[in-house]
Amino acid sequence: MSKGLPETRTDAAMSELVPEPRPKPAVPMKPVSINTNLLGYIGIDTIIEQMRKKTMKTGFDFNIMVVGQSGLGKSTLVNTLFKSQVSRKASSWNREEKIPKTVEIKAIGHVIEEGGVKMKLTVIDTPGFGDQINNENCWEPIEKYINEQYEKFLKEEVNIARKKRIPDTRVHCCLYFISPTGHSLRPLDLEFMKHLSKVVNIIPVIAKADTMTLEEKSEFKQRVRKELEVHGIEFYPQKEFDEDLEDKTENDKIRQESMPFAVVGSDKEYQVNGKRVLGRKTPWGIIEVENLHHCEFALLRDFVIRTHLQDLKEVTHNIHYETYRAKRLNDNGGLPPGEGLLGSVLPPVPATPCPTAE
Amino acid sequence: MDKEYVGFAALPNQLHRKSIKKGFDFTLMVAGESGLGKSTLINSLFLTNLYEDRQLPEASARLTQTLTIERRGVEIEEGGIKVKLTLVDTPGFGDSVDCSDCWLPVVRFIEEQFEQYLRDESGLNRKNIQDSRVHCCLYFISPFGRGLRPLDVAFLRAVHEKVNIIPVIGKADALMPRETQALKQKIRDQLKEEEINIYQFPDCDSDEDEDFKRQDAEMKESIPFAVVGSCEVVRDKGTRPVRGRRYSWGTVEVENPHHCDFLNLRRMLVQTHLQDLKEVTHDLLYEGYRARCLQSLARPGARDRASRSKLSRRSTTEIPLPMLPLAETEKLIREKDEELRRMQEMLEKMQAQVQQSQAQGEQSAAL
């Protein structure tokens, strides 16, 4: 197929390291084979360009939640991921804030821009998780928050006069921080992931990984993967949502070898070999955050931001949100929830599996 | 012979020889969440692999695990001196989702040792009292937290009047020097705020030289000790072999004072203060326990029972028995009574025999 138009590529820094991620349709279409012997150039391949332009204009939302015991470097890591002070961490290391008695949910929004693309990033912190003597059910406030966002979206969706673009506060990604004990997962880790992996995309990370040698790291990762498998906990990217073989091979490699990512975060720069790098300086050496020989921060960053950002949003919308919606409609006897709706959008049906709306 | 020289200056030598012969007992408890490098540190301190046969349970097994107390004994000999070291471990501490009261078995264990000692001390055969009291508790604090966690505070408050506590920051190679200092200060502040008494290393004698005093002061400033343990020797080309942990960015040397406080801990715990820890346990903590026990015995009902007892070896105090649950006390009184009666019978028998043989002797002499 000859191309008459020069290809315009934006120098979006986000797509530097990997080829353009294929924009995936919201509803996967069945591939229809057509006669590819076109007589001339039509120009439908410019749709990609048009979509990109639209995205740049409207920008997009991304909501990331961090969960883990206090002191595991959650805020530092998020700041490092997005290269800006997007988390509520104070500038000094020694934070004076007291550990809250119950789990709190704190959401902070920022707008960051790169290469003409605007992202409204919301970081949701969960201070107090796992810090008490009795941590029974400390995941409940978190589950409640996530479901509340689904509920908000659902209410907007079933409105008669809908907003052009529904504000999306749903949690697209939950980074769960595992303490680098070197032994195995803690009972609390298992409990949290068991409950929450069904409602949100969980990406487990091993925090403060600069305390493990290479052998200890790989042994620990193997044990963690095995434990998660034994308990049927599916972390993102979930096996059942791989769309095609290409996805599957790519994700299999990540699932079975790289994850959980062993990360180190830092907001301080040091001089190494003439370059300024983010790192941690100890008497026995400098740990470079973006050096793949030192830790897997770069892998996590590429995974979350550069290759799977859109997929995280889609799985949240198509799978987790739909599951929630189906459950809500079922509970309501097929009727949409909410008060003050004059004449429901959907026809009332008996309590059977929910009708495919839209 | 020199009239002015009596010779008792040789007493310390005699004590020294006696204690070498007797050997030395020490019980060390190690406590803290799992995964803080406790076992590795103990192996490093005593250069033995005490945890060879350990099986680490998986997370699902730990969901229902309760805290257990494990004891491991090892005999270490160095320079002709034998040390019988008993290590007390607390696997399961801080692991469960709900850790409420998980420190109670530990408190009970420590008190049971005191109880046993009190019983032995009040008993008849005091020659070979086994001292199983816990002389020191190394408490491991996580380097990942922001100081003491609620569980740490609860545990320390429960045991600080019953055992010598030496707080230690485990896996200290997770911290940069500035972070280490800040964490130590935070912990010290919290200990003061929560009024937790840790073991106070005694001041060195005033006649020591300035250098030693400075070193001593520095060591005290570095509490809680930030430690790294390792039993592996890193042999890199061009550098001398060291015990340490090899990372891609460098090697942490366990015995390098710029890297961690391992040497300080080893010096203060093993080389200089082993005896003092035992003494403080005996003179302060045990006496405190004993006084509390006996005071609570000094209640009207208890006094009657005590006066009925035939055991009155201690004529100075009226209450010879330690505070045990009622049935046990009664049982003990009866047992001691039995023993006493048997001894009296034996004595009478012996006296009779002696009289008999004396009488026989007189008879044969008369013949």
Tell me if B96 and A184 make a contact (CB, 8 A cut-off): no
Looking at residue A24, its pLDDT comes to 59
- What DSSP state is assigned to residue B215? H
Looking at residue B309, its pLDDT comes to 46
pLDDT at A38 over 70: no
What residue has token string 């820890």? B277
Of B56, B142, B248, the CB nearest to A183: B56
pLDDT at A1 over 70: no
Highest mean pLDDT among A41-45, B164-168, B209-213: B164-168
Question: A133, A214, A263: best mutation site toward chain B, by most B Cβ within 10 Å?
Answer: A133
Tell me if B97 and A136 make a contact (CB, 8 A cut-off): yes
Of B59, B171, B186, the CB nearest to A184: B59
Question: Cα–chain-centroid distance for residue A309?
Answer: 7
pLDDT digits (tens, 9 = 90+) for A53-81: 887 888 889 999 999 999 999 999 998 98
Of A188, A214, A294, the CB nearest to B97: A188
Q: What is the mean pLDDT of residues A124-133?
A: 92
Share of chain A above pLDDT 90, in %: 51
The domain locations on chain B are: 16-49+65-202+210-297
- For residues B49 and A108, give the distance between their C-alpha atoms in angstroms, rounded to a whole number: 49
Structural domains of chain A in order of their starting residue, each with its CATH number: 54-88+97-264+293-329 (3.40.50.300)
Chain A residue numbers touching B182 (CB-CB < 8 A):
93-94
Residue in A181, A93, A134 with CA at minimum distance from that of residue B150 = A134
Chain A residue numbers touching B246 (CB-CB < 8 A):
213
Looking at residue B75, its pLDDT comes to 84
Strand (E) or helix (H) holding A119: strand A117-125
Query: By mean pLDDT, which of A60-64, A248-252, B55-59, B273-277 is the weakest?
Result: B55-59
pLDDT at B67 over 90: no
User: ipTM for the complex?
Assistant: 0.78
Question: Regarding predicted confidence, which is higher, B183 or B1?
Answer: B183
If contacts are CB pairs under 8 Å, which of residues 257-296 in chain B contact chain A? 258-259
pLDDT digits (tens, 9 = 90+) for B337-350: 888 888 888 888 88
Question: B248, B252, B259: best mutation site toward chain A, by most A Cβ within 10 Å?
Answer: B248
**Chain B residue closest in CA terms to A96:** B146
Give buried/exposed letters for B146-175 (b at 16+ CB in 10 A, else e). bbbbebbbbbbeebbebbbbbbbbbbbbbb
Half-sphere exposure of A184 (CA within 13 A, CB side): 18
Question: Regarding predicted confidence, which is higher, A296 or B75?
Answer: A296
pLDDT at A294 over 70: yes
Q: What is the mean pLDDT of residues A338-349?
A: 45
Question: Regarding predicted confidence, which is higher, A356 or A34?
Answer: A34
Query: What fold, for B16-49+65-202+210-297?
Result: Rossmann fold (3.40.50)
Tell me if A136 and B247 make a contact (CB, 8 A cut-off): no
pLDDT band at A30; cut points 50, 70, 90: low
Chain A residue numbers touching B174 (CB-CB < 8 A):
180, 208, 210-211
pLDDT digits (tens, 9 = 90+) for B308-318: 444 444 444 44
Question: Regarding predicted confidence, which is higher, A338 or A285?
Answer: A285
Cα→Cα distances B307→B262, B299, B321, B332, B344, Å: 54, 12, 11, 14, 20
Taking the model in full, what pTM does it have?
A: 0.78
pLDDT at B174 over 50: yes
Looking at residue B185, its pLDDT comes to 95
Of A93, A190, A293, the CB nearest to B59: A190
Looking at residue B193, its pLDDT comes to 94
